[in-house]
Amino acid sequence: MRISSAYVIAAAFAIGALLSVIAASVSVNVIEDSTEIGVRRSLDNNDLPWAEVRANGLRVILSGTAPSEARRFKAQSVAGQIVDAARVIDRMKVQPSLDIAPPRFSVEILRNDTGVSLIGLIPRATDRDALLSRLRDIDGEGQEIEVSDFMETADHPVPDEWPETIDYTITATAMLPRAKISATAGEVHITTMADSREARRELQAELSRRAPPEIELALDISAPRPVITPFTLRLVLQDGIARFDACSADSEEARERILAAARKAGMEGAGACTIGLGVPTPRWAEAVEMAIAALDDLGGGVITFANADISLLAQRGTDPERFDRVTGTLENTLPEIFTLHAELPEPEEEKDLSAPEFVATLSPEGLLQLRGHLRTERTRKTVDSFAKARFGAGAVHMAARVNDALPAEWSVRVLTALDALARLSNGAITVTENEVSVLGDTGSPDAKADIARLLADKLGEKARFEIDVTYIEKLDPVAQMPTPEECIADINAVLAENKINFEPGSATPDAEAASVISDIADILKDCGEVRLEISGHTDSQGRAVMNEQLSQARAQAVLNALRARRILTGSFVAKGYGEDKPIADNDTEEGREANRRIEFRLMRPEDDTSDSAGSDETDGPTEQEAQDTAPDSDTADDGAQSADTEETNDTQQEADQQDEQD
């Protein structure tokens, strides 16, 4: 049988098609294998072994679990470098991330003349509007300051101590017109400046006192170097022990050189030397070193610098030849600007009891006794007027008599000594023809240096004076300022002895309450600004709403009474709790009496401060009830204003009398 030509042609086409399919399939497999191998090799070379590669025709499918989104993106990029990126199919997954650690919330507040700027990251739950509103009102003068907000937020839980930290940060910002305050939860770092060293000490004490105990506070308060006039140094060397009555240096290096010289001469401890402006020459430290070494060579005495004038007073009994040799060497080696006045006292003779002297004694109560000799009647009036101006008109008792044989400089010596005595809490001065002596106690650590500087400046480089001044910490008003906890403890001690009672059913304190409130006011006068809540409480008799209103009115009445006694109450809050917080059983008369009470407590930063001391409480008594039951706050203010006016008038009258005496 003969095969038709048509079948032959069809068979040829079929065989060709089959061979083409087989060839194409083989080619695709080769291409896919080649592509997979190339991409796989590239992924391995880029440390991406977790990525799986499968070629499907011209497409490259990536699968597997990437450790992070960044590694997933890198695998795509690497595959896109081998084949066309459009042919890369991403079916990779990303490994679930572990719990992300919360961010470090912090705020940096910058305050200057232009306003306040805030930078940082805060929790989203922070009341941002309230924070900005409080910062705008920190001046408390009714005028808002400009606040620039550059803070970001994150939706994470609020850290512990974050509210207390923010509250204290705002308090510190209100106290500091120029500062940088960095705050994180539980930590606050303050960088600012003070006008003087004393202002710095007071600011440090106040900032530390207001800081909640759970906050770690770091203070960096700088003060400009004081201008020291005259530039003074006074060193006393006696019995092998050296001490500074005053010490000034112009640099850290100069201070270290001076203190090292003093320690070599017998000074014990670290010593103190004030760095300030006004040095007469850059060679100040060199001159001081020479003078201290000379005094040590003599075996004792006093060396006093007042600018470029040096006074060296040797001890009695010093060998004259040695004195001449040491002082002569010192005079010839000192820098050219300095002038030396050296004195060797004569051997001590029996004291002449008839020699004139002037003595002033200041008691711890502030009473000043003046006795001894003054040159003229006019001098006596001048001294009396000066003493009353410095110590108070009613504190001075004049018992000095006139002696016209006194030297001409006697009056200057007396007035200068009185000026020195005014820097002490108690003590005495003695003025003789040869010496001025100042001794006593002080609450200022700088008093001794100030007195030495004053005497050296007013009496001249040849003057002989003795200073025996002791710093007593309990006399220092800054160091002795009670803590808020001590203040509240003292108040509670007063209330433990005597309650603040009221007329029955009213907010009028009874007759005995006035003395109790006065005792509390005396305590608060020494406490500075503390945040207090004055809380009123009642027993359970009567309706709860009326009890709450009555307790609010009574707490406000105590606040008004303190304000009338000229206590600054801007940081106080009056709050009535009614019968909600009993401390005893309301079923007995004794228990009800205990529950009717006024309490004082410290307000912590986390406490609600929305109630202001002077504002009406929304849940308190009505306006009419407040008028009927509570003392009128306007009247209290008028009383305080009247007291201010009377004191001002008294002061003016004293000044007028003083002018007439002068």
Residue 1 has pLDDT above 50, yes or no: no
**Is the predicted pLDDT of residue 308 greater than 60, yes or no?**
yes
Contact between 219 and 244 under an 8 Å Cβ cutoff? The reply is no
Phi/psi at 60 (nearest 5 deg)?
-120, 120
Q: How buried is 354 (Cβ within 10 angstroms: 0-12 exposed, 13-18 middle, 19+ buried)?
A: exposed
Structure tokens at 82: 């081998």
User: What is the assigned CATH class of domain 233-343?
Assistant: alpha beta
- pLDDT score recorded for residue 100: 59
Mean pLDDT, rounded, for 582-591:
91
Give the whole-number percent of the chain exceeding pLDDT 70.
83
Highest-scoring range by mean pLDDT, 10-14, 71-75, 247-251, 529-533: 247-251
Phi, psi torsion values for 517, nearest 5 degrees: -65, -35
Give the mean model confidence (pLDDT) for residues 126-136. Answer: 90
Residue 416 to residue 395: CA distance in whole angstroms: 19
| Per-residue pLDDT at 77 | 87
For residue 283, pLDDT over 90 is answered with yes
pLDDT beyond 90 at 294: yes
Secondary structure, 3-state, 218-243: EEEEECCCCECCCCEEEEEEECCEEE
| pLDDT given for residue 620 in this prediction | 38
Q: Which of 338-342, 456-460, 526-530, 587-591 comes out lowest in average pLDDT?
A: 526-530
Q: What is the rounded average pLDDT for all residues in the chain?
A: 83
Range with the lowest mean pLDDT among 107-121, 566-580, 620-634? 620-634
d(CA 502, CA 257): 68
The pLDDT of residue 83 is 81
Average pLDDT rounded to a whole number, residues 63-80: 86
Architecture of domain 484-631: 2-Layer Sandwich (3.30)
DSSP 512-555: THHHHHHHHHHHHHTT-S--EEEEEE--S-S-HHHHHHHHHHHH
Q: Is the pLDDT of residue 479 over 90?
A: no
pTM of the model: 0.51
Least-confidence region, from 103-117, 130-144, 521-535: 130-144
Q: Which fold has domain 5-94?
A: Histidine-containing Protein; Chain: A; (3.30.1340)
Instruction: Give Dmax over CA atoms of the chain in angstroms.
Output: 173
Considering only 25-39, 244-258, 469-483, 604-618, which range has the smallest mean pLDDT?
604-618
How does strand 115-123 pair with strand 147-154?
parallel
Return the structure tokens found at 66: 């990437």
Cα–Cα distance, 375 to 358 (Å, whole number): 10
What are the residue boundaries of the structural domains of the chain, listed by start?
A: 5-94, 106-222, 233-343, 358-475, 484-631
The torsion angles phi and psi of 234, rounded to 5 degrees, stand at: -140, 120
End-to-end alpha-carbon separation of the chain, Å? 160
Q: What is the pLDDT of residue 142?
A: 60
Which residue from 434, 433, 432, 429 is spatially nearest to 467, judged by alpha carbons? 429
**Strands 88-90, 93-94: pairing kind:** unpaired
Lowest mean pLDDT across 137-146, 361-370, 643-652: 643-652
Quote the radius of gyration of the chain (alpha carbons, Å): 42
pLDDT, residue 379, reads 92
Residues in the chain, total: 662
Do 233-343 and 5-94 fall under one CATH topology? no
In this predicted model, what pLDDT tens digit does every residue of 250-269 receive, in sequence order? Answer: 999 999 999 999 999 999 98
Pairing assessment for the beta strands 368-374 and 396-402 based on DSSP bridges: parallel
**Topology of the domain comprising 358-475:** hypothetical protein tt1634 (3.40.1520)
pLDDT attached to residue 69:
84
Q: State the sign of the Cα–Cα–Cα–Cα dihedral 564, 566, 571, 572.
A: negative
Q: How confident is the model at residue 351 (pLDDT cuts 50, 70, 90)?
A: low
- Helix axis angle, 447-459 relative to 410-421, nearest 10°? 170
**Token duo for residue 594:** 């205990």
Residue 182 has pLDDT above 90, yes or no: yes
pLDDT in tens, 23-51: 555 555 666 777 778 888 888 888 888 88
Q: What are the two backbone dihedrals, phi and then psi, of residue 467, each rounded to the nearest 5 degrees?
A: -125, 120
Task: Give residues with Cβ within 8 angstroms of 489, minimum separation 6.
Answer: none
**Is residue 81 predicted with pLDDT exceeding 90?**
no
pLDDT > 70? residue 654: no
What gap in Å lies between CA 641 and CA 636, rounded to an integer?
9
The predicted structure's pLDDT at residue 28: 53
**Could you tell me the two tokens for 76?**
């795509």
Residue 211 has what pLDDT?
85
* Contact partners, residue 71, CB within 8 Å, separation at least 6: 48, 50
Q: In sequence order, what are the residues at sequence separation of 6 or more whose Cβ sits closer than 8 angstroms to the Cβ of residue 448?
A: 245, 246, 442, 467, 469, 471
- pLDDT over 70 at 231, yes or no: yes
Lowest-pLDDT range, 393-397, 413-417, 658-662? 658-662
Q: Which pLDDT does position 391 carry in this prediction?
A: 92
Tell me the average pLDDT across 554-558.
94
* 106-222, CATH topology level: hypothetical protein tt1634 (3.40.1520)
Q: How far from 460 is each of 269, 313, 340, CA to CA, in Å?
A: 30, 14, 13
**What is the rounded CA–CA span in Å between residue 42 and residue 82?**
8
